[in-house]
Structure 1
C-alpha cells in the first residue's frame, strides 16, 4: 500500500520501491517518536511522502537512443515478445492516462483496491478515510472510467493488468448473485455453491461418494434434479475446496435464512478440517440492507450495491469455524436434541444461525396437529381464500422468508399434502407440477382448496401425522410411520422426543 502512495507521486515503480525502503528505515530509527500504535498508518504515510519529495528533487532521467534499444532487441531474438509487450504497455498507458483524469483521492482508492487488492478496512486504516467515503470514491471513479477507457469491459482490464493483488475466490449461493458481483466489479474467481441442504437426506460428510449417491437419487426422485448432473456439480465443487490453498483469500457471501445458513455451516465445517496454509478466510453475511424493505437476499441488490460491499467482509476465526462445524454436526445428527442443546448456548459468533436452525426444528410434526410450519402456513392461507399455487408459493415464501424455500421444494410439499390417504388439500386443474428447469406456466390455471380433514387438522381436532403417516427427512433425521419419534412443541419452542404421554397427540 505504501508503494502505491509513492507511485502516485513518483510515477516510477523502481523509485517508488526506493522511497518505501527509505521510509521504512527512517520509521524504524524514529519509532520512539510514535505515541500510539494506532497512529502508525498515518505517521508512516507522512514519512513516505517526505521521501518522495526528496527523490523528486534529485531525480534525473536517463534516455536510451532508439538505435541502441533496437539493436539489443534484434540480437536477442525477442521481437515477438516485444510486440506483445508493446501491446500490453499500450493498454497500461491507456489505463494510466484514464486514471490520471481522476481526482487524487479517487485515483488512490482505485490503485489500492483494484490494483493492489487491499480491503476497504485496510485502506481506511492507512489513509484515515472512512469506509463509506471510500465506497463513494470507488463508485464515482468506476462511473467516470467507464466513459473514458477505450474498452467495453472495465473489469477485464483490471484483471489483465492486476499488479501485485491477491488471488481471491468468492463462494456465493446463486447465479444471480454471481452475475451481479461480476457486473459490480468484484475481483477474483466466483463459485456458485449449488446445494439444497434443507431438502432430503443430509450426512455429516456429504462429499463422500456413498452419501453423494444417496442424495443424488433422492433429489432426482423428489425434485427432478438429474442425478448425474448433481454428482458432476458436487464433484466439481469439492475439487475447488480441495485446491483452496491456491487462493490467498476466500470470501463467503451468504444470507440469514436457513437455506444459506446450512450451506455456510457446511463450508465452515469443511474449512475447519482443511489445512488452509496462508489462505485467509472471510465472511460477508447479512440479514438486511439499508433502504431495501423486506430484505430476502443478496440477489435483490443491484450490481453497484454488491460491488460497494466488496471489502466489508470480516475475517473468519477459530470461533466461527468451530461453531459452524458444531452446527453442521448437530444438523446432520440422527438426534435433533443435539441441535436443541446447541441452540440453548451462546451462538453469537454466527449471529443468524440460531433463528435459522430453530426454524428448521419447526419443520418437524407439531405436538398440536402433526403439521410442520410450512404445511400449517400453507393450509392457513388456503383456508383464508388463497387458491392459486403461484400466489400461494409467494405468500408462504414471504411469511417464512427465513426458510429461504425454493419453488421446487414448495411444489414437492404441495404435492405431498394432496396425496391419499387423508389428503389435506385438493388440487384442481393441476396435471403435474413443474420439474427441474421447467417454468411454472402449467400452474396458472390450477386451483387449491382445503379438504374437510385439512380443516379439522388446522383446528387441532385431528392429527395429520397419526392419520396420514410421515416419511420425510429433517436434516439427518428420517421420520417414518404414524408415530413420529420427534415433534415440535410450539408453546415451549422446543423439540420433544422420544414420544411420551406429555407430547403425544390428543
Structure 2
C-alpha cells in the first residue's frame, strides 16, 4: 500500500539555547542597519521566523514541549483502552516511544487517487483493490485481504469505547476523516479528533509523521470530541466526493465549516486534480511538468522532492503515489514525458518533456485529447476524447464537451 509522505526541515522539537545563540549571531547584522538594535529585537525576529508573535510565546511553547516530554500526565486515564486511528503507519512507532499504550489502527486506502464511489462494501472494496494493485504493482489477492481487514476494523469505530483520529490538513487525511465519520450511524461512546495544519517552529509542515514523539505528546491534550455536526458534514462531503459530478463537492470546497475546519481547503486542493480548462492537466501534473521544463532532464525523485519542498501548496502524496500519478504521462501512445535510465530504480530515472509535453504545458494542446488512459478523481471519470468535467482558474467546475 502507498505510504504517507514524510519530509521536513525540522521535526518540531525546538532547543531554546540554540535559538538564543541564533539571536546573538543575528544581533551584529541588525546593528549594521541600526546601531541601536537590541538583543530583544534579534530574539523577536528569530521568534517571528519560527511562527511565533513574540519571544515569550516561543519560550512558552518550548516549555510546554519539555513538560509533555518529562511528565506522563498527558496520558488519559483510559488510554490503555484507546484506539489511535491514522491513514498510514507513520506515527505508530513514535506513539509507542512517547508512551502511548493504546492500540494503533490504520486505513491505507489512498482515497485521493483512483475511483471512489459510494458503494456497498462488496462492490466498493473490489473497485478500490483493483485500482491499488494496478497503480502500485501489488498482488491483487494481498491488497484485497488488507483492504477487507482494515475496513472491517473501521466498522468497530462505531462501538469502540475510546477512539482518536490523528489527521492533518491535506486531502489524504481529510478524505480518510470523512470516510471514517460517514460510516457512523450515531456518535460512538467517545470519539476524539486531533487535527493540525501547522506546528510552531516547523518551516514546511507536511504531516504528523514527521514530528518527534514529544511533539505528539504535546498534541495529545489538544484533541477534541467529534460531535453530531461533524458526522453529518462528513456524510455530506463523502457523498459529494463520490458523485459523478463535482458540483456539490465544489460548493463544499468553497465554503467554511466549523465542524471540520480543515476540510474545505483539502477538498479545494483535491478539486484541482481535475483537468484544468486550458491544458487538461491536474495541478500535480502541471507543477511537475513546469519544474521539469525549468530544470531540463531531471531525476524522477528530484521532481517529487521539489514539489514536496516548495511547489505543492498542500502536500498530500507519498513518493509511490506521485510515481503512479505520473505514469500515464510517460506510458501513453502520445506521452508528455520521456523516461530514460530505465535500468535504474524509478527515483533515479531522468525525465524530460516531449514536444507534446511542451505544447500542453503552454496550453497549446489539451492533454485528455491525447491521453491513452481514463482517470478518476473521486467519483468523477475523465475519459480521453469524451465530454468531461474540468476546473477553471478559480477552481470552479466547468463541463467540457468532447473535442472542443
Q: Secondary structure at the match of 1:345?
A: coil
RMSD: 2.7
Report if aligned partners of 1:365, 1:484 keep a CA contact under 8 Å in 2: no
Aligned match of 1:3: none
Report if aligned partners of 1:257, 1:401 keep a CA contact under 8 Å in 2: no
Report if aligned partners of 1:469, 1:483 keep a CA contact under 8 Å in 2: no
Q: How does 1:350-499 map to 2 (within 5 A)?
A: 350-385=260-295, 387-398=298-309, 399-400=311-312, 402-431=314-343, 442-443=345-346, 445-468=348-371, 471-490=374-393, 492-497=394-399, 499=401
Q: How does 1:273-288 map to 2 (within 5 A)?
A: 273-274=185-186, 276=188, 279-288=189-198
Q: How does 1:120-199 map to 2 (within 5 A)?
A: 136-141=66-71, 167-199=81-113
Question: Deviations for 1:48-94, whole angstroms, at most 9, x for unmatched residues?
Answer: xxxxxxxxxxxxxxxxxxxxxxxxxxxxxxxxxxxxxxxxxxxxxxx
Aligned match of 1:251: 164
Change (3 A) 1:274 1:448: same
In structure 2, C-alpha distance between the alignment counterparts of 1:354 and 1:275, rounded to whole Å: 22
Report if aligned partners of 2:162, 2:190 keep a CA contact under 8 Å in 1: yes
Shift of 1:177: 0.6
Report if aligned partners of 1:250, 1:282 keep a CA contact under 8 Å in 2: yes
Question: Deviations for 1:178-230, whole angstroms, at most 9, x for unmatched residues?
Answer: 1101111123211122211111211214x612221122122111211322222
Report if aligned partners of 2:292, 2:352 keep a CA contact under 8 Å in 1: yes
Counterpart selection for 1:266 from 161, 173, 179: 179
Relative to the length of structure 2, the TM-score reads: 0.78
In structure 2, C-alpha distance between the alignment counterparts of 1:469 and 1:266, rounded to whole Å: 31
Shift of 1:132: 9.3
Q: Secondary structure at the match of 1:176?
A: coil
Shift of 1:337: 0.9
Bigger shift: residues 403-412 or 328-337: 403-412
Report if aligned partners of 1:166, 1:249 keep a CA contact under 8 Å in 2: no
In structure 1, C-alpha distance between the alignment counterparts of 2:271 and 2:390, rounded to whole Å: 9
Q: Secondary structure at the match of 1:251?
A: strand
Change (3 A) 1:136 1:342: same
Aligned match of 2:46: none
Change (3 A) 1:191 1:420: closer
Report if aligned partners of 1:281, 1:316 keep a CA contact under 8 Å in 2: yes
Choose 1 or 2 for highest CA Rg.
1
Aligned match of 2:146: 233
Q: Secondary structure at the match of 1:395?
A: helix
Report if aligned partners of 1:465, 1:484 keep a CA contact under 8 Å in 2: no
Structure with the higher fraction of residues in helix conformation: 1
Change (3 A) 1:194 1:219: same
Report if aligned partners of 1:388, 1:446 keep a CA contact under 8 Å in 2: yes
In structure 1, C-alpha distance between the alignment counterparts of 2:83 and 2:318, rounded to whole Å: 26
Shift of 1:456: 1.4
Q: Which runs of 4+ in 1 moved over 6 A?
A: 130-135, 162-166
Shift of 1:408: 1.9
Shift of 1:344: 3.7
In structure 1, C-alpha distance between the alignment counterparts of 2:358 and 2:263, rounded to whole Å: 34
In structure 2, C-alpha distance between the alignment counterparts of 1:245 and 1:373, rounded to whole Å: 36
Between the two proteins, the alignment pairs up a number of residues equal to 343
1:338 partnered with 2:338: no
Shift of 1:428: 1.0
Query: Unpaired runs of 5+ in structure 1?
Result: 1-129, 144-154, 432-440
Change (3 A) 1:444 1:375: closer
Aligned match of 2:206: 296
In structure 2, C-alpha distance between the alignment counterparts of 1:333 and 1:241, rounded to whole Å: 22
Change (3 A) 1:142 1:472: same
Report if aligned partners of 2:374, 2:382 keep a CA contact under 8 Å in 1: yes
Counterpart selection for 1:213 from 126, 132, 135: 126
Q: Secondary structure at the match of 1:230?
A: helix
In structure 1, C-alpha distance between the alignment counterparts of 2:151 and 2:292, rounded to whole Å: 42
In structure 1, C-alpha distance between the alignment counterparts of 2:325 and 2:399, rounded to whole Å: 24
Q: Secondary structure at the match of 2:376?
A: strand
